[in-house]
Structure 1
């Protein structure tokens, strides 16, 4: 069977798994809301999705520094590479954590229904002021109930085969500064060895996720947010370069940069 055929078959299976997880999430969200535990909806669904992907697609997640996730509340930020980031969330999500997502996803069949029912914070990418207001409105709940919110400060998937990150948007840092919440950076090793649509890559393997120590924001001034966000990005990008690429089983093809690296390590 050709490698491209395997790629498309695995993409189809992954989409089926995501749909099953979303349907499960709708049911769980309704039940959790009825018993007053809506804040657990995304956590339970994320763990279910992780389990399906682990045994259905052969993709596991290894977490380094998991102890840094224990002390709520905080703002969790991560690099954003591909659709596999959802799998990372499934393993690192603490109970009571919610995600932010672009507003367009709210209208997506099944997935959008689940996200709406489970308390996702939807952001309008075309209106920065509105997005900041939405984040600020979620701040009270995060602090009062010791929750967490997961934000991808790059704002979009990079799909990069290189060990770098896109420039950070400031929303997560404004939220943390206003609430004096620590930032918990999460760095995922480059996943293009596992999934790259450009190179028709969809392999099994292991996502390497490193949770860095919380970075306090108490005393941070609004005018210092830009410099602070650039500092955090620099720290995360340095960790990304050290982590490198996720180990993969070569079921399909590999991006040239990963192939070259494998040859050097032989």
Structure 2
């Protein structure tokens, strides 16, 4: 399913004249399990992450994606839907994420929890969930900065449409968590937020 999503994301984007340029801060050991934390400004972010991340991945995303023709296929099989308005749904989703991590599956969690409502987009504050999860499992976090996907297609393109172009994605080096405790979750959250914010400001 991940191979299919990777190929589908590349081909469906290419047909629209959209391509992905992926830069890595350093070589990544794809044999390890990670939690991927990208900023979120576009529906293209899922395709870009699928292209950039080379191991077996599972997305956590809003349960509305179950209704999509293509996204529904993945969220009924390998991904984890969550109702953002339900604490019970969030609890169950993170429990499933914990199980996937124990199975060696890399989780992709957008820590902003949503696509920004402002245009041009701003980086929202991050939620704690993925950082507590990383610390509990002693799993590194990989911050990913989507530099300009919003310029190609903001949100779902309903308001401004889309245009051909190259989406520039920067994959940062892993942030290790083995030395941290749950009490460090806020500091880890702020560190990852700062890493992505600085990269956006540089761009």
TM more than 0.5? yes
Secondary structure of the corresponding residue to residue 59 of structure 2: strand
- Structure 1 vs Structure 2 CA RMSD: 2.3
Secondary structure of the corresponding residue to residue 198 of structure 2: helix
Aligned equivalent of 1:62: 21
For 1:42-57, list aligned pairs within 5 A. Answer: 42-54=2-14, 56-57=15-16
Contact 1:163 1:190 in 2 (8 A): no
For 1:194-233, list aligned pairs within 5 A. Answer: 194-196=152-154, 197=157, 200-233=160-193
Contact 1:132 1:171 in 2 (8 A): no
1:135/1:83 Cα in 2 relative to 1: closer, same or farther (>3 Å)? same
Aligned equivalent of 1:153: 111
1:198/1:114 Cα in 2 relative to 1: closer, same or farther (>3 Å)? closer
Aligned equivalent of 2:139: 181
Q: Tell me how many residue pairs correspond in the alignment.
A: 200
For 1:254-265, list aligned pairs within 5 A. Answer: none
For 1:88-107, list aligned pairs within 5 A. Answer: 88-106=48-66
> Which structure's residues are more often helix, by fraction?
1
From 73, 83, 96, give the equivalent of 1:114: 73
1:43/1:72 Cα in 2 relative to 1: closer, same or farther (>3 Å)? farther
Distance (Å, rounded) in 2 between the aligned partners of 1:139 and 1:121: 11
Distance (Å, rounded) in 2 between the aligned partners of 1:198 and 1:96: 31
1:82/1:105 Cα in 2 relative to 1: closer, same or farther (>3 Å)? same
Deviation, structure 1 residue 46: 2.8
Secondary structure of the corresponding residue to residue 203 of structure 1: coil
Deviation, structure 1 residue 232: 1.1
Distance (Å, rounded) in 2 between the aligned partners of 1:112 and 1:85: 13
- Say which one has the larger Rg: 1
Distance (Å, rounded) in 2 between the aligned partners of 1:133 and 1:201: 35
1:175/1:137 Cα in 2 relative to 1: closer, same or farther (>3 Å)? same
Deviation, structure 1 residue 112: 5.1
Deviation, structure 1 residue 199: 6.6
Q: Which moved more, 1:113-122 or 1:149-158?
A: 113-122
Secondary structure of the corresponding residue to residue 153 of structure 1: coil
Q: Which runs of 5+ in 2 are unaligned?
A: none
TM-score of the two chains, using structure 1 as the length reference = 0.68
